Structure 1
Amino acid sequence: MDRENRNAAIAALVILVGFGVLAYWLPTIMLALGGVSTVLAALAAVLFGLALFIVLWLRGRAQRRKENR
Structure 2
Amino acid sequence: MTPEAKSHAIAAGVILVAAILVIYFLPTIVIGIGQYSPILGFVVGALLLLGFFAVFWLRARYQKNRRGE
Q: Same fold (TM over 0.5)?
A: yes
Name the amino acid aligned to 1:52: F
Shift of 1:66: 2.1
RCO greater where, 1 or 2, for CA within 8 Å and sep 6 or more? 2
Name the amino acid aligned to 1:46: A
Shift of 1:53: 1.6
Show the counterpart of 1:43: 43
Separation in 2 of the partners of 1:22 and 1:34? 17
Name the amino acid aligned to 1:22: V
Structure 1 unpaired stretches of 5+: none
What is the aligned residue count?
69
Show the counterpart of 2:24: 24
Name the amino acid aligned to 1:56: F
Runs of 4+ displaced beyond 3 Å: none
Give the TM-score of the pair, scaled to structure 1.
0.88
Separation in 2 of the partners of 1:63 and 1:38? 38
Structure 2 unpaired stretches of 5+: none
What RMSD in Å do the two structures reach over aligned CA positions? 1.4
